[in-house]
Amino acid sequence: MKNNLDSGAPVAPTEGMSPLLQEVSSLLHESPKAAKKRCKGVTKNGAACTAWAMEGGLCYFHANPDKAAELGRNGGRHRKQTYEQSTEHIAPPESAADVRQECWPRHGPWVG
């Protein structure tokens, strides 16, 4: 699928995306002129950011620092899993051999 910009770069479909991801996607494909420069931002460890810059000279996440945390938080919530705890009592292992037997019941990972 082609966008309507001069670059002819493909644009990812946005159907089914959250509004926040649609915003990020549209900004990433915003302007072919803006995509020719690197971000002027600095990472937490002091290195130069290597992401492509937008119109203001910063990448999307340096221009919108709260968006990275928001996207990470939303992704974490999406992947949240809960597990039921077993009511079965399991005796603690008494030796390393017991641990190996529980973890690798057949032959162990060291046996080919």
Asked if pLDDT for residue 41 goes beyond 80, the answer is yes
In this prediction, residue 35 carries a pLDDT of 47
Q: Could you state, in order of their start, the residue ranges of all structural domains in the chain?
A: 19-78
pTM over 0.75: no
Residue corresponding to tokens 């290597």:
50
**Token digits for 39?**
């971000």
Q: Which amino acid is at 14?
A: T
pLDDT one-digit tens code per residue, 44-68: 999 999 999 998 899 999 999 888 8
Top-confidence range, 52-56, 67-71, 83-87? 52-56
Average pLDDT, whole number, for the chain? Answer: 75
pLDDT one-digit tens code per residue, 2-26: 444 444 555 556 677 777 777 777 6
Q: Give the gyration radius of the chain's Cα atoms.
A: 24
State whether the Cα torsion 32-37-38-39 is positive or negative. negative
